[in-house]
Amino acid sequence: MKKADSHIKKTEPATNAPNTTAGAATPAVSEITPAQLAELQARAAKADEHWDRLLRTAADLENFKKRAARERHEVAQSSTAALIQKLLPVLDHFEMAQAAAVQTAEVPQGGITSLQDGIVMIQQQLKNILTEAGLEEVNANGQPFDPSVHEAVMQMETPDAPEGQVVQQIRKGYKLRNLLLRPAAVVVAKKPSAPPAA
């Protein structure tokens, strides 16, 4: 029995033996020198300062984004309001033209001519306002076909124009400064097909 007991004692791990590997990796708190403690405290203070600065910068960025979006909205709204204020007289003139058209129905030919002249004046007033806002017509008639500003709706065989030239503009195109709002719808010339052999 004593032999078996001694064998058991040999295989049991020593629980009270000091752990030399763990003690070498991390020094005990009592082993930290005052200089090391001061350095750790300085680093912690600097980390806190950087964290506060990061939070302030993130908040400033978020506020800037909100302010920029609000300013963009206000600028768009004020420019739209300015354009609509310029268009209101045109709307008034159209209403006056409609009222005049009702009265002109019983008036002889001279009244219709003055109504037509009034409508032409209103159209010119509207064109001037839109031109002032930066609107430009896309000139297509007689021009070479340009897919960046023209939309070909059909081709027409004709000997009177070179192939690829615009022979008819069906709908005007418009640009706002350099931005194409709507391409001009055009008919493009193509070579006439050869007559069938006799």
For the record, the structure tokens of 170 come out as 């069906």
Kindly list the domain boundaries of the chain, sorted by start residue.
37-133, 136-192
**Strand arrangement of the beta sheet that strand 179-182 belongs to:** 135-138, 173-176, 179-182
The SS3 assignment for 28 reads: coil
What's the pLDDT score for residue 11? 47
What homologous superfamily does CATH list for 136-192?
Answer: Head domain of nucleotide exchange factor GrpE (2.30.22.10)
Alpha helices in the chain (DSSP H): 2-11, 20-25, 34-104, 109-132
One digit per residue, pLDDT tens: the chain, 198 residues? 455 454 444 444 444 444 444 444 555 556 889 899 999 999 999 999 999 999 999 999 999 999 999 999 888 888 888 887 888 888 888 888 877 777 766 656 666 777 788 888 898 999 888 888 888 988 888 899 999 999 999 999 888 888 999 999 999 899 988 889 999 999 999 888 766 555
CB half-sphere exposure, 123, CA atoms < 13 A: 6
What's the pLDDT score for residue 30? 63
Rounded to whole angstroms, the Cα distance separating 89 from 83 reads 11
